[in-house]
Amino acid sequence: MLVCEHVEQLRLELDAHRRAGRTIAFVPTMGNLHEGHLQLVRLAKSNADVVVASIFVNPLQFGLNEDWEKYPRTFDADCAQLDGEGCDYLLYPNERDVYPNGMSLQTRVIVPAMTDILCGASRPGHFEGVTTIVAKLFNMVQPDKAIFGIKDFQQLAVIRKMTEDLCLPIEIIAAPIARADDGLALSSRNGYLTSIERPIAAEVYRSLQLAKHALECGRRDFHQIEHESQQHLVAHGMRIDYLSIRRVDDLEPATASDRNVVILVAVFLGNTRLIDNLQVAI
């Protein structure tokens, strides 16, 4: 695997592949890789000839009092894992290269739809930071395909919308949620959980399963179903950010006539924010 710290070096490498007619898949990450990230790389390999990953902990998507400074940086271990999966190139830029004029003067990419609800409501400016950095990375790498995990369901929906609205010639491929044996969605932030909190965290997935079972049994009292799952989480010591049943297509609140819905949840367990989701055909 070749590590490229500068975009110009990566572009030279990828130009040769394009001239040879090879397809390029891209996996953007913030590092601190786990099995979920590696599954993205495997999916990229199965969908393209050349795989590019990136590691950049993007300060623009972290709000005040969030965990940018303490976000784990594990570059050497990340490189070893990517190399072991057969990743071809790693883009590892520094903040100066990504934001050469500073973040305050950075041109922003704003998606007006789906960004002020759910995670967008509790993390103002977060999705503006996400879409800005993803647009920049797409321009740096210019891939044919890009792989994103379904765990960040709202992020995936927003990136799809951005890609469509900006007419970017990139196919967005969604990867299934990678889970631990007890159902907890794999996340870099799981490392913040204490040994006592970690088994409790599995109740996040169980709360989604409770809601899914109610929907599959024919119930359409969505607010009551949400309340019951929220109470399950509160009973296990979690603080609710949201637990909401939404339409898959636009993340608007589900109605009785909707057939494809997604249950989305965000909670705090101790100081750790956990998110998850589960899609249901009803």
| H or E, element range at 24 | strand 24-29
- Which pLDDT belongs to residue 213? 98
> What is the set of active-site residues?
37
- Residues 227-251, mean pLDDT to the nearest whole number: 98
65 pLDDT more than 80: no
- Are 60 and 123 in contact by the 8 Å Cβ rule? The answer is no
> What domains, with CATH codes, occur in the chain?
2-175 (3.40.50.620), 188-275 (3.30.1300.10)
| H or E, element range at 209 | helix 203-216
Single pTM value for the model: 0.95
In 56-112, which ranges are E strands?
Answer: 89-91
64 pLDDT more than 90: no
Bridge partner residues of 137 (DSSP): none
272 pLDDT more than 90: yes
Q: Which amino acid is located at 149 in the chain?
A: G
Residue percentage of the chain with pLDDT more than 70: 99
Cα 213 to the center of its chain, rounded Å? 25
- Residues 65-69, mean pLDDT to the nearest whole number: 72
Q: How many residues does the chain have?
A: 282
Both tokens of 112, joined, read 């007006």
Name the least confident of 57-71, 73-87, 182-196: 57-71
Separation of alpha carbons 279 and 251, rounded Å: 12
Q: Which amino acid is located at 176 in the chain?
A: P
70 pLDDT more than 80: no
251 pLDDT more than 70: yes
pLDDT tens profile 14-44:
999 999 999 999 999 999 999 999 999 999 9
